[in-house]
Structure 1
Amino acid sequence: MSGQSIPAAPPPPRPFPNGTPVQPGPIAVERRRLLAGTDPDRRAPATPKVLAAALATGLLTAWLLGDGLGVNLLLCAAVAAVAAGLTARSAGRRVRPWTLAWSVLALALLVVPALWDAGWPAFLSVSAALALTSLALHGGRRWTGVTLALPGVLWQLAPSVLWALDALRGREYPAKQKVLPVLKALAVAVVLLVVFGALFAGADAAMADVLESLTPSLDLDELPLRFVLLVLGLVTALSFAHMAAGPRRWDRLRTEPGRERGRLEWAVPLGALNLMFAAFTVVQVVVLAGGRDAIMTNTGMSRSEYARQGFWQLMVITVLTLVVVGLAKRWAPRSTPADRRLARAVLGTLCVLSLVVVGSALVRMYFYVDASGLTRLRLWVLVVEIWLGVVFLLVIAAGALRGAGWLPRAVLLSAALTAAVYGLMGPDAVVAEQNVARFERTGQIDLRNVRDLSVDAAPALDRLTGDRRTCALALIWYDTGGSKPWYAMSLAQSRARDVFRDHPIGDREDKACRRAGFEPGYSERY
């Protein structure tokens, strides 16, 4: 006994201020219960191949994305997809039709930066691609499953790193005999490429240009940025692989239906709103019956003033109507077949009348564009308004078919297709083409609509002549002055350089703009 050490007693628990432990509140308990219900049934471990693919994604991101966006984004995404695919295979997951659809759309969205140079469409496309990839890996049928799966990459950032660390902890690594030959082969390959590449570059100027375009540039000042890109690419790839290993089942979150309201309490407000929409429909028919020339007679305003006067209000009305329809559906009377028929009739009428609001907003914008030309903002709101009209049609179809299980994914599919079409068509190129075509038809162009466009607009604006061409292309010409490697250059940038090589700008921008009747310094207007 004397030779045995007696273990020390554990320290007493720290007392709570009032002497009793603090219990979690009912809201916290319910949140934990709901979140636990969405846990994956099983999660596959991170294999060495998955970790290697994630590390390769990080290295490629640091190597390629620091110079800009282009084909390099597709290359990084392909390696990250390999990591997610390997994990999904080890987890025994199968490719389903909706998974394939979301993946194809995400790939189409990632093509946008390789085609066009405009910043806003590229940002929208990359964000939508990340959201669709998350949905493809998570899956989802109901509104909760679809909406909570879209930002899934954000929920997985910290857990994915812990998942990778758990896989690395305690693993038996290959022996030196397996690792050293690979490292030696890579080192010899790098030495041979550097030596012979330098010799070939010194022997032939064309070969030097090719090697320079293939070799990424790296400056010491860029090291912090490259490190951030390395971490970003690595963690993003790990997040998608973590999702593939065991996605959180957001569809298991059950939302209780709203308290059923009485017919009178529910139908009277919506009936009054339907009457308001019907009155607006009648007014629109009266005002627009005579065509665009009747607007001045009926309202005393020009077409441009008429469109600008109410377009944004109609846009807000469209969005608010969707909110009203969703809330009304939640609290609609549903006890009897007559109650359900009433709900479908009232909400269906409201959706049909809302299509008139969408049509009126589109007609107003058409008048505005016809009178003043197209801009980025006008094109964007046109696309959004058309998509909102499609959403109303889907809601009407769901009510008519008496089954809305397909509606969440159909609405998201319409949004993804809209974003893909908007990005792939090249918004800046469309804006430039419309303004130049209008100039060729009428001899009028507002240079404020085109001067702030990206290099995507160069081929269309090149059709202008004289001072108008110089003024419209001056800012784009400055943007094409720097050199970029091939993997960070979009197709639009290559086309713009061809335009300026064949038809350079020789005059000063400020003088050309003043002769064209435009004073530099004014920004784009709505």
Structure 2
Amino acid sequence: MAAQPPTARDRFWWAAAALVLLGVGTFRAAGWLFVLCVLGACVAGSLAVLGRRTGRGLAHDMVAVPLASFGAVPWAFSGLREVQSAQVSKVRRFGVSVAVTAALLVVFVPLLGGADATFAGLLNGLAPTVDAATAWQWILLFAVLGAGALGALYLLAGPPARAAEASRPVRLWARSEWVLPVGALTVLFAVFLGAQFVALFGGDDYVQRTAGLTYAEYARSGFWQLSAVSILTLAVILAVLHWSARDTAADRRWLRILLSAVSVLALVIVCSALARMWTYQQAYGFTVLRLLVTMCELWVGLVYVLTLVAIARLHWNWVPRAAVGTALTTLIALALLNPEHLVAERNIDRWAKGERLDTAYLRTLSPDILPALNRLPTPMRADIETPIRTDLDADPWWSWNLSRSSAR
């Protein structure tokens, strides 16, 4: 059975996500956030053009438009070659006329400008000032947008053949083959979480006695490991869900029970990782990177919720597409949160409670943080604002930004 093409509703939502992500640059001044949003918009736009409604082939469809741009150029030239000879002749005559007109203007305009100062002043007012850097930016932007539009037209004019999907994938793993490793993971996670609860209720004194660390150091030391565990476990669950046999009622019952158990325990591990990062930020301050990894871990937790639904239904093909959609939604939510402003606010909250404020770090952020600095004393606020306001030159109309405009 061939993969279903996207419906009009699917195209609308992917296209809407792309436009929202591109619009972030109008409101947020953080450059790193705009880069992430542009990349997300490219993925959403590609899926709007050619997005399967199932998981198979999704990775290709996410980059289909950029890839198609390479094949679209010879396709466009081949179309031009198929134009009738009479039309080609008309185009050539018009091109010759334009070239002759340009040559005459290049010769006569300077001569007349040199002959009369008033006419020369009029020419100077009409002639635009061309900045080399700006010109190259426009050329690059035109090339990128032109290639993207050409690739999209190429796919819409003749979408590539979709890979045939088997009505049912080949099952390689009998129940006896996957129950042992999944069961071992379930027991391991249960024991680990039991130790976590002991440390949680034991508090800082217990952690210092057993691990030789403060609770904040203990939290930092485990976040990345727990994040890796949650991602690897997700891969194991989806592999078992895809490749395991489910011919009998017993097979399906064991799948639901064990995979649900390990998924719930892994979801608790995700919550533990988030709690560790929160504890670490409370102790040492908030940064953009720490906020980003927190949002990524929240997204992983959301994917686990989707996976639990897939386990209950024993159908997972929709999960990759839903995961991409939730990832783009998470990115939009991050932009709505105004991340750099949020980081500055949380750090100022810590400072209000007597903690140290890292002003050197705040000076590296964008004008998005300026409204949050109003709570600081004037000398401290000026120390942070000065380097940020130094680069606030007037924006041209095509790169106008609300945050920079408000700062000016």
Quote how far apart the aligned CAs of 1:150 are: 0.2
Give the partner amino acid of 2:329: L
Q: For residues 292-345 of structure 1, give each alpha carbon's deviation from its aligned partner in whole angstroms, at most 9, with x where no partner exists.
A: 787557755323212211111111111111111122223323232212221222
Does 2:392 correspond to 1:486?
Answer: no
2:330 and 2:167 map into 1 onto residues whose CA distance is 29
The 3-state SS of whatever aligns with 1:156 is helix
The whole-number CA distance in structure 1 between the counterparts of 2:269 and 2:178 is: 23
Q: How high is the TM-score relative to the length of structure 1?
A: 0.66
Matches within 5 A, 1:114-153: 114-153=26-65
Q: Matched residues in 1 for 2:235 and 2:6: separation?
A: 36
Identity %: 35
Number of matched pairs:
384
Contact 1:292 1:367 in 2 (8 A): no
* Cα distance change on mapping 1:216 and 1:292 into 2, 3 Å: farther
Q: What does residue 284 of structure 1 align with?
A: 196
2:371 is aligned with 1:371 = no
Q: 1:497-512 to 2 correspondence within 5 Å?
A: 497=408
Inter-partner Cα distance in structure 2 for 1:473 and 1:216:
35
Which residue of structure 1 aligns with residue 177 of structure 2?
265
Contact 2:14–2:44 at 8 Å: present in 1 too?
A: yes
> By how many angstroms is 1:462 displaced?
4.0
Cα distance in 1 between the residues matched to 2:14 and 2:404: 29
- Counterpart of 1:325 in structure 2 is 237
User: Where do 1:12-411 residues align within 5 Å?
Assistant: 96-172=8-84, 173=87, 218-220=130-132, 222-250=134-162, 252=164, 257=169, 259-289=171-201, 299-411=211-323
Whole-angstrom distance in 1 between the partners of 2:37 and 2:151: 19
> Equivalent residue for 2:388?
476
Between structures 1 and 2, the one with greater helix share: 2
Q: CA RMSD in A?
A: 3.5
* AA of the residue aligned to 1:483: A
Inter-partner Cα distance in structure 2 for 1:142 and 1:94: 10
Determine if the alignment matches structure 1 residue 415 to structure 2 residue 327. yes
Aligned-partner Cα distance in 2 for 1:144–1:309: 37
Partner of 1:447: 359
What's the secondary structure of 2:375's corresponding residue? coil
Distance 1:322 1:448, change over 3 A: farther
Distance in 2 (CA, whole Å) between partners of 1:94 and 1:343 is: 31
Query: Which amino acid in 2 is paired with 1:126?
Result: V
Instruction: Write the letter of the residue equivalent to 1:487.
Output: W
Q: Among 419, 439, 459, which residue is 2:371 paired with?
A: 459
**Separation of aligned partners in 1, 2:385 and 2:205:** 35
1:246-305 deviations in whole A, cap 9, x for unaligned?
Answer: 323545355983552233332112211111100111112222136678755775532321
For the residues of structure 2 that align with 1:171 and 1:252, how far apart are their CA atoms?
A: 35
2 CA distance for matches of 1:366 and 1:478? Answer: 33
Structure 1 residue matching 2:169: 3-state secondary structure: coil
Secondary structure, counterpart of 2:56 in structure 1? helix
Alignment gaps of 5+ in structure 1? 1-36, 41-92, 188-194, 203-210, 498-526
1:464 and 1:288 mapped to 2: Cα distance? 35
What is the DSSP-based 3-state SS (H/G/I as helix, E as strand, rest coil) of the residue aligned with 2:130?
A: coil
Aligned to 2:114: none
1:78-136 Cα distance to aligned partner (Å, 9 max, x none): xxxxxxxxxxxxxxx99611111111111110111111121211111111111111111
The AA in structure 1 aligned to 2:74 is L
**Structure 2 unmatched runs, 5+:** 103-117
Q: Tell me, yes or no, if the aligned pair for 2:295 and 2:330 is still in contact at 8 Å.
A: yes
Distance 1:484 1:217 in 2: 16
Please say if 1:496 is aligned against 2:394: no
How big is each residue's C-alpha offset from its partner over 1:198-243, in whole Å with a ceiling of 9 and x where there is no partner? 99x99xxxxxxxx9xxx98632455444433332222111111212
Distance 1:226 1:272, change over 3 A: same
Question: Which residue number in structure 2 is paired with residue 64 of structure 1?
Answer: none
Distance in 1 between residues matched to 2:53 and 2:254, nearest whole Å: 27
Distance in 2 of aligned mates of 1:118 and 1:416 = 18
The change in CA–CA distance for 1:263 and 1:94 in structure 2 (over 3 A counts) is closer
Residue 310 to residue 128, structure 1, CA distance change in 2 (3 Å): same
**Is the CA contact (8 Å cut-off) linking 1:383 and 1:418 kept in structure 2?**
yes
